[in-house]
Structure 1
């Protein structure tokens, strides 16, 4: 990552962290920008600027990082509410509909996002698109014994679905829930995210897909302007 990119991600992570107040239960997202946000939160708790903040993580990766930083954690089943969730996204359209799941954490990410009173998304400007799925594949988490069946059903819906393979191990990617991921491409992109999210999740063998529909309250975009990092608060269309 270049120094400018790193500074841009640091800026947007810091802007999101500014929304965390003492006493909050906070959903801690996954990915590189969310990791910077978790680090910023850890620093504020250590310095005493914030206190009594409890985190709910969306991935094992985030859990390990938060634990190393001394951020108190609770599970979804152990909390009554989530005041604020902060997470990244792989694509964001003008209506604030998202594709997430590049890190195969979208099941827990969606559980946390829908539970939160406010869901704030932190991205860089490259993640902004007019139509979802033209560039980034849609992740669909499936039961291991059903991936071929679901693949065929997605093909019947017009989606080319390929099993996600691991990079540094032999065989497929296995999620934190012990399932597999199909990455799906629809030739014309996704024109109706709400309809497709429901249709895919209705397929037997599917646990969840990476479409996040009508969940996002705010999108903070990191940009480089005149060689300096800037954060833009996006307006929903």
Structure 2
């Protein structure tokens, strides 16, 4: 799917105009967009400011020569570009396989236009069909949150590091619980509200009613553009 990711990322980068403040997402698809923006800065005198969503996207942006700013320094973003793990027909998302979903959600919420870059493998009929919902949790609250999630999902597990001992630690110093919903989530908005109300939960990977555009790249290099009706 590398050609599909590249097609989506590069077409989304074409939305960037001089003077824009742009949210810079995290992940392999968004990386193509950041590299394309960097080329335009070098080759066509594009002037933009980027707000990264993770240490990884900050590092890549610097490598690409994209000037950076923060949400303390700008009132709003013109555009945010990011990937997704799942996309429903309503343009709702699951994000967070890379553990950056909390910062990604903050940045996306500040953007006038939130453009999501995907490939056809991310399409689902219902959120949760293929991917878990990551829940970012204060380490001392892990036990209570796990017990609560056990009552509402198929399985809830603490995400462990693959090349280190112990749990995955987010950029905020929190841990991640992965909640699996076998067959998909019946009512994502109800799960969203429940998770927001749990003490010790910082945020989660359900992005509901946020995406304005979806760019779906295909292996032949074509890109399908979906837009939210409202």
TM-score range normalised by the length of the shorter chain: over 0.9
The 1:178/1:190 distance shift into structure 2, 3 A limit, reads: same
**What TM-score, normalized to structure 1?**
0.93
2:160 matches 1:165: yes
**What TM-score, normalized to structure 2?**
0.96
Moved over 3 A (4+): none
2:196 matches 1:204: no
1:133 match: 128
SS of the equivalent of 2:32 reads helix
1:46 match: 42
1:180 match: 175
Shift of 1:135: 1.3
Q: Is the 8 A contact 2:12 2:33 kept in 1?
A: yes
In 1, the alpha carbon distance for the partners of 2:188 and 2:123 equals 15
In 2, the alpha carbon distance for the partners of 1:161 and 1:20 equals 39
1:37 corresponds, among 27, 33, 36, to 33
In 2, the alpha carbon distance for the partners of 1:199 and 1:132 equals 16
- Alignment coverage as a number of residue pairs: 229
Shift of 1:187: 2.7
**1:126-173 per-position Cα deviation (integer Å, ceiling 9, x unaligned):** 000001112101100000111111000111223421000111111110
**1:31-84 per-position Cα deviation (integer Å, ceiling 9, x unaligned):** 001111111001100112412x00000110000011122211111212111000
Q: Is the 8 A contact 1:94 1:236 kept in 2?
A: no
Q: Is the 8 A contact 1:97 1:193 kept in 2?
A: no
Q: Is the 8 A contact 2:161 2:167 kept in 1?
A: yes
- Structure 1 gaps, min length 5: none
2:210 match: 215
SS of the equivalent of 1:61 reads helix
1:234 match: 226
Counterparts in 2 of 1:64-103, with a 5 A limit?
64-103=59-98
Q: Is the 8 A contact 2:9 2:29 kept in 1?
A: yes
**1:93-119 per-position Cα deviation (integer Å, ceiling 9, x unaligned):** 000010000000000000001110000
- Structure 2 gaps, min length 5: none
Over the aligned positions, Cα root-mean-square deviation in angstroms equals: 1.2
Q: Is the 8 A contact 2:3 2:218 kept in 1?
A: no
In 2, the alpha carbon distance for the partners of 1:134 and 1:46 equals 41
1:121 match: 116
1:6 match: 2
